């Protein structure tokens, strides 16, 4: 009998986002199936549903004719599905054997039977032909071997389905080879293998079939042997560009050079150079982890700079802390607005005046009249939906939260010259996204230089005047909006070096 895993009609909505909509496909035993898609296409959500981490709103998971429903990750494991995440889920201080048998440690008379444990672990390790000692604590192993331990864990549980989430991201070339051999071995044993990766080269090397997702929807299911890179990129990108962008009123008057970054190197990025004019919107594209956020954090004084120089309005600047950068007129709306941008359980007012407490003072106290005025200005300017100025921001929707941050950096308290927006539309509904695009263009018209980081290609190539593409901490190319296509940008973002 053929082993198979069939998903049908899987949908999942998060507040403000439809992460998956009616996704279905069938994976068969003895084959490796790749899940491919842009950031936010829904791959991770799908894996989390498979691992029992989150519950789908709708849809069926069928394994060999049996419909499965999970109340917890434990249920998924029991049903024979193991998901191996990028962040390894090992107990790092415990030995290899304890990790592999976690949850099923052999016991004799109520005491751990280390002899059996070691013997059984050795058997598995030998089957995989790995040079790993069962008694070594996992933290002393290389990243690759830690990953092998995860795989052996899945193998030991006799999981029929093994899903890999970007497994090669932390591995070196030789380590990748070891991993691929292992995957091929699992394949021979008839396992159903799901493989999520951004790296097209690997997908051609190790997978048999490819399912492409886009914006949470199923696009196509092809045989790896019958497709090529260009087609895949088209599948990942292919979509009509809505009116959203056509109606944008952009700023085409660019002024003097505002920001100049020369050969910037930090622990995460290497030799990054670019410049930005006043009134210009400069897009930064790339895959998650390409180093875009790190460049901005370095400019903003939040991360140390190893070498290189930054010039603001022609003058060399060195910011030791974010405060220095703010004082010089730089504003950063961080990538993760809930973790880094806002103090969620404080009021809209507090979140807006936060960086400028010095400017709302009437000795010895704060000037509450002034801070009220500033807050109301921002609420009106950006049409933030709230009944009072001291509503706590955790109660606002994602879009309104983002508007609070925009309001903070563009209030009358501050003379912001450079506005850095890191994934400003992440987790925001389509309507508010369009509002934010227009706000970005309006701010550019006011003469601000705007840096617009986004992992959504359509968005970045349509909002920005110029797009810089990064990969693995370096700039791989620069494209003007007029000549930018998603294929071109994606090719740069995934370029093999």
Partner 1 sequence: MDNFTRISTFKKAIRSKAFPLLILFVIMIVLFTALAPLNDANFLTTRTFISILRDLSVPGFLAIGAGCLMVSGGIDLSQATVAAMTGVTIAVSVGWWNLPWYAAVIIALLIALCIGLVNAILVNELNMMPFIATMAMSTVTRAVMMLIATDQTGQMQGSINYNNPTLTLIGNYEIGGFLPATIIAMIIAFIFYGLLLSKTKFGRSVYLIGGNPMAARLAGINSKKTSYILFMNCSLMGGLAGLIYTSRVKQGSLSAMATDQFTGLTAAILGGISFGGGSGGMGGAFIGLLVIKTFNKGMTIIGASSYVTNVLSGALLLAALSFDYYSQRRQRKRIGA
Summarize as ranges the residues that interact with partner 1 (CB under 8 A): 15, 300, 302, 321-323, 325-327, 332, 334, 339-346, 350, 353-355, 357-358, 361, 364-366, 372, 375-376, 379, 386-391, 394-395, 408
Q: How far is the CB of 236 from partner 1 (least distance, A)?
A: 31
DSSP state letter for 137: B
Whose Cβ is closer to partner 1: residue 131's or residue 387's?
A: 387
Query: Which phi-psi region, left, alpha or beta, contains residue 326 (left: φ > 0; alpha: ψ -120 to 50)?
Result: alpha
Query: Which phi-psi region, left, alpha or beta, contains residue 363 (left: φ > 0; alpha: ψ -120 to 50)?
Result: beta
CA–CA gap between residue 135 and residue 121 (Å, rounded) = 9
Residue 219 near residue 43 (C-beta atoms within 8 A): no
Which of 80, 77, 74, 114 lies closest to 97 in space, CA to CA? 114
CA–CA gap between residue 19 and residue 40 (Å, rounded) = 8
The residue to which tokens 């003469």 are assigned = 447
Q: Give how far Cα 120 sits from Cα of 101, 111, 295, 369, 470, Å.
A: 9, 17, 48, 72, 46
Q: How far is the CB of 302 from partner 1 (least distance, A)?
A: 6
Whose Cβ is closer to partner 1: residue 357's or residue 430's?
A: 357
Whose Cβ is closer to partner 1: residue 130's or residue 317's?
A: 317
Q: How far is the CB of 91 from partner 1 (least distance, A)?
A: 21
Number of Cα atoms under 13 Å in the Cβ half of residue 283:
26
Whose Cβ is closer to partner 1: residue 370's or residue 488's?
A: 370
Q: How far is the CB of 365 from partner 1 (least distance, A)?
A: 4
Whose Cβ is closer to partner 1: residue 379's or residue 436's?
A: 379
Q: How far is the CB of 330 from partner 1 (least distance, A)?
A: 10
Q: How far is the CB of 93 from partner 1 (least distance, A)?
A: 18
Q: How far is the CB of 372 from partner 1 (least distance, A)?
A: 7
Label residue 24 exposed, middle or buried (CB < 10 Å: 0-12, 13-18, 19+).
middle
Whose Cβ is closer to partner 1: residue 188's or residue 358's?
A: 358
Q: Report helix, strand or coil for 39.
A: coil
| Paired tokens of 58 | 């709708």
Cα angle 334-335-337, degrees, rounded to a multiple of 5:
70
Whose Cβ is closer to partner 1: residue 176's or residue 317's?
A: 317
Whose Cβ is closer to partner 1: residue 186's or residue 404's?
A: 404
Taking residue 177's Cβ as centre, other Cβ atoms within 10 Å add up to 13
31 beta partners = 192
Label residue 74 exposed, middle or buried (CB < 10 Å: 0-12, 13-18, 19+).
exposed
Q: How far is the CB of 428 from partner 1 (least distance, A)?
A: 15
Q: How far is the CB of 325 from partner 1 (least distance, A)?
A: 8
Q: How far is the CB of 54 from partner 1 (least distance, A)?
A: 13
CA–CA gap between residue 412 and residue 378 (Å, rounded) = 9
Whose Cβ is closer to partner 1: residue 183's or residue 332's?
A: 332
Q: How far is the CB of 345 from partner 1 (least distance, A)?
A: 5
CA–CA gap between residue 35 and residue 203 (Å, rounded) = 9
Whose Cβ is closer to partner 1: residue 344's or residue 441's?
A: 344
Whose Cβ is closer to partner 1: residue 15's or residue 65's?
A: 15
Q: Which residues of 94-111 are buried (b: 16+ CB within 10 A; e: fewer)?
A: ebbbbbbbeeeeeeeeee
């Amino acid at each position: 009998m053929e082993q198979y895993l069939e998903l049908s009609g899987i949908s999942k909505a998060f507040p403000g986002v439809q992460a998956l909509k009616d996704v279905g496909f069938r994976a068969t035993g003895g084959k490796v199936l790749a899940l491919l898609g842009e950031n936010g296409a829904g791959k991770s959500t799908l894996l989390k549903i498979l691992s029992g981490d989150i519950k789908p709103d709708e849809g069926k998971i069928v394994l060999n004719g049996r419909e499965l429903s999970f109340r917890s990750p434990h249920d998924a494991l029991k049903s024979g599905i193991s998901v191996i995440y990028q962040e390894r889920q090992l107990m790092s201080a415990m030995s290899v054997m304890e990790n592999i048998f976690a949850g099923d440690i052999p016991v004799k008379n109520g005491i751990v039977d280390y002899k059996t444990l070691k013997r059984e672990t050795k058997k598995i390790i030998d089957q995989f032909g790995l040079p790993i000692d069962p008694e070594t604590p996992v933290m002393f192993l290389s990243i690759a071997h830690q990953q092998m331990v995860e795989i052996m864990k899945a193998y030991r549980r006799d999981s029929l389905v093994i899903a890999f989430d970007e497994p090669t991201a932390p591995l070196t070339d030789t380590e990748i080879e070891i991993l691929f051999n292992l995957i091929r071995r699992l394949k021979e044993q008839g396992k159903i293998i799901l493989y999520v990766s951004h790296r097209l080269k690997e997908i051609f090397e190790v997978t048999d079939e490819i399912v492409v997702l886009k914006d949470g929807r199923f696009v196509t299911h092809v045989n790896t042997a019958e497709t090529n890179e260009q087609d895949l990129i088209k599948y990942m990108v292919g979509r009509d560009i809505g009116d959203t962008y056509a109606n944008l009123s952009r700023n085409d008057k660019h002024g003097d050079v505002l920001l100049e970054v020369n050969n910037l190197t930090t622990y995460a990025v290497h030799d990054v150079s670019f410049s930005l004019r006043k009134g210009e919107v400069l897009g930064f594209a790339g895959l998650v982890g390409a180093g875009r956020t790190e460049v901005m954090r370095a400019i903003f004084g939040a991360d140390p700079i190893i070498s290189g120089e930054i010039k603001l309005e022609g003058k060399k600047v060195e910011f030791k802390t974010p405060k220095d950068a703010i004082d010089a007129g730089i504003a950063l709306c961080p990538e993760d607005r809930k973790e880094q941008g806002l103090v969620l359980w404080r009021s809209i007012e507090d979140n807006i005046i936060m960086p400028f407490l010095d400017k709302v003072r009437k000795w010895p106290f704060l000037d509450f009249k002034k801070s009220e005025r500033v807050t109301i200005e921002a609420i009106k300017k950006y049409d933030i939906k709230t009944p009072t100025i001291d509503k706590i921001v955790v109660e606002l929707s994602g879009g309104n939260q983002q508007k609070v941050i925009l309001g903070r950096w563009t209030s009358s308290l501050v003379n912001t010259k450079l506005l850095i927006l890191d994934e400003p539309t992440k987790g925001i509904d389509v309507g508010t996204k369009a509002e934010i695009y227009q706000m970005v263009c309006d701010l550019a018209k006011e003469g601000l230089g705007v840096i617009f980081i986004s992992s959504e290609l359509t968005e970045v190539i349509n909002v920005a005047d110029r797009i810089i593409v990064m990969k693995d901490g370096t700039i791989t190319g620069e494209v003007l909006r007029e000549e930018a296509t998603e294929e071109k940008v994606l090719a740069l973002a995934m370029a093999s070096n």
